Structure 1
């Protein structure tokens, strides 16, 4: 009659051997050697304790001024979402190229057309769009300081299970916005 697994275990546990899970660390650092008496003295002497604990006569630099970032206008955010969605749909050949003309410069339209020629596996879906205003003092010297004339656009989109990035710059053009730079990753 075969024995069951429970009957093969001895009734009293044998004392287990002590197993070490760590080993001692061997010191690979060489023993410090004294300088020979013929060696030149170091160029930089060791500072004294008093020199280490004296107060400095130098003044600390003033903290950086707080940069007040102006939130982008709602019209810029809406334009950015619409423009990037249309760009992705034109690349996927779900929209005609003519719908990009009022949104971007002619050079960028040519770049998007060239990009749409490559074969694609699956359609892209725009995920998240962020818009950030840029320094108005450089971009709009004549306008008011609080008027936003340009913004940077960052977005992510997915295609065939992979996440891609797209970035660009929008600027005021007449009474609307226009995409003037575009980078698709």
Structure 2
């Protein structure tokens, strides 16, 4: 209550409208003429330059592709608990085996994982032979498609997966 008038004091006060007046709508853009749409290009199209890396890159060895396919399939089977973790010990580094073991203990939703596509690309070479390769591809679980990426390297004369990321 206001002490002078005895009337209840309002806690709400009117707000002054400071919004500017709307601007006039600009004229729409003109439609292009058929001649403008079919005008020839004023400059010739150039080929994209080839990089030296693409020319020097070796195709991955067949053994690397076969190993990558087998390793990724086993990892997916272990994460779905269709295979024991011991099946990975000869294919992955110990730290990677531990990481896959942790992921295998989390419940997966959507059914079993199915490898859809896998590609292998040479990442390092020594004396004309590939010593490391990048692995990337997709797998599906239920109706969802997930990505995967990893790296395999030659150690003691055999391929081993040293990095893996499942999306």
Q: TM-score, normalised by structure 2?
A: 0.68
- Map residues 11-50 of structure 1 onto 2, 5 A cutoff: 26=27
Partner SS, residue 134 of structure 1: strand
What is the aligned partner in structure 2 of residue 159 from structure 1? 141
| Root-mean-square deviation (Å) | 2.0
Structure 1 position 88 matched with structure 2 position 76: yes
Counterpart of 1:147? 129
Contact 2:124-2:131 at 8 Å conserved across structures: no
Q: Pick the structure with more strand per residue.
A: 2
Aligned residues: 121
Q: What is the rounded CA distance, in whole Å, between the counterparts of 1:65 and 1:180 in structure 2?
A: 28
Q: What CA distance in whole angstroms lies between the structure 2 residues aligned with 1:71 and 1:149?
A: 12
Change (3 A) 1:105 1:25: same
The residue matched to 2:115 in structure 1 has which SS? strand
- What TM-score do the two structures reach when normalised by structure 1? 0.61
Q: Tell me what 1:126 maps to.
A: 115
The Cα shift of 1:66 comes to: 2.3
2:96 counterpart of 1:108: yes
How many angstroms apart in 1 are the aligned matches of 2:162 and 2:89? 12
* Long gaps (5+) in structure 1: 1-23, 29-62, 137-142
Distance 2:59 2:106 in 1: 37
